[in-house]
């Protein structure tokens, strides 16, 4: 992408718009819709979990649905056995990986012809996996830059221990842990910080390109 700030700017706008629409009653809260979905799919528990995680893992849509919080609460209240926890973990990972693949494909389909074959650094992927929404935008950027698709499968593998730890942590430390992670103020703060960093990078990029452009213009005049 031409500007680092493109994605975080659209993310801040989308998140702010959705929050306002919910606040003023134009849209119902995402949790209420998830409750309705649960009421209609009580007999298909694993499919329900997959749909919830998939909804949050899709870029922009994830701002509306607090999927991880809702899914983990469902898991805890169902009092699963260790076998159930493992099966549910695989269901969550499958849904999250499918979401990453969708985001990657969206980015690739809407990018320019730019083709960057350089490998993705593991530390950047791990940083993006701090939150479902950050991973969604990370995968969108990977697709837009035509990075190798193996980053999608790598994220899926890393999600296996992540979701196991997530379920265990919520079971032992209560639902408040996930409520903090899904707090709208926290999400907005993270998006704002991302935008500030991206704008800073854009400014630096612009300043560094000015001397090169000036030198090229001088060479053209001399010639």
DSSP string, 43-70: T-HHHHHHHHHHHHHSTTGGGT--HHHH
Whether 68 has a pLDDT exceeding 80, the answer reads: no
Average pLDDT value over all residues in the chain: 79
Contacts of 18 (CB under 8 A, 6+ apart): 27, 63, 64
Whether 73 has a pLDDT exceeding 50, the answer reads: yes
- Which tens digit of pLDDT belongs to each residue from 161-196? 888 877 776 666 555 555 555 667 777 787 888 888
> 46-55, 152-161, 212-221 — which is least confidently predicted?
212-221
pLDDT for the residue numbered 65: 80
Which of 217 and 173 is assigned the larger pLDDT? 173
Three-state SS for 203? helix
* Phi/psi of residue 121, nearest 5 degrees: -75, 135
31 close to 70: Cβ distance less than 8 angstroms:
yes
Domain coordinates of the chain in residue numbers? 6-28+37-205
- Which tens digit of pLDDT belongs to each residue from 116-131? 556 677 777 887 887 7
Q: Which residues of 186-217 are buried (b: 16+ CB within 10 A; e: fewer)?
A: ebbebbeebbeebeeeeeeeeeeeeeeeeeee
- Which tens digit of pLDDT belongs to each residue from 75-109? 777 777 788 888 888 988 999 999 999 999 998 88
pLDDT for the residue numbered 166: 74
152 close to 143: Cβ distance less than 8 angstroms:
no
Give mean pLDDT, residues 131-144: 87
Give mean pLDDT, residues 24-51: 80
């Amino acid at each position: 992408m031409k500007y680092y700030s493109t994605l975080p700017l659209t993310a801040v706008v989308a998140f702010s718009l959705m929050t306002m629409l919910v606040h003023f009653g134009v849209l119902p809260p995402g949790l209420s819709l998830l409750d309705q979905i649960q009421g209609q799919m009580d007999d298909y528990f694993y499919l329900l979990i997959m749909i919830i995680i998939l909804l949050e893992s899709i870029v922009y849509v994830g701002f509306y649905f607090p999927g991880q919080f809702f899914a983990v609460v469902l898991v805890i209240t169902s009092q699963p056995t260790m076998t159930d926890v493992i099966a549910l973990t695989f269901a969550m990972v499958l849904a999250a990986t499918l979401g990453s693949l969708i985001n990657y494909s969206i980015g690739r389909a809407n990018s320019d012809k730019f083709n960057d074959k350089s490998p993705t650094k593991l530390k950047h992927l791990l940083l993006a996996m701090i939150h479902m929404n950050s991973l969604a935008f990370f995968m969108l950027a990977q697709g837009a830059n035509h990075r190798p698709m193996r980053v999608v499968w790598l994220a899926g593998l890393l999600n296996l221990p992540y979701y196991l730890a997530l379920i265990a942590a919520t079971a032992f430390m209560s639902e408040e842990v996930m409520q903090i992670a899904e707090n709208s103020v926290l999400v907005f703060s993270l998006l704002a910080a991302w935008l500030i960093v991206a704008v800073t990078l854009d400014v630096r990029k612009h300043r560094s390109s000015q001397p090169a452009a000036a030198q090229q213009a001088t060479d053209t005049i001399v010639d």
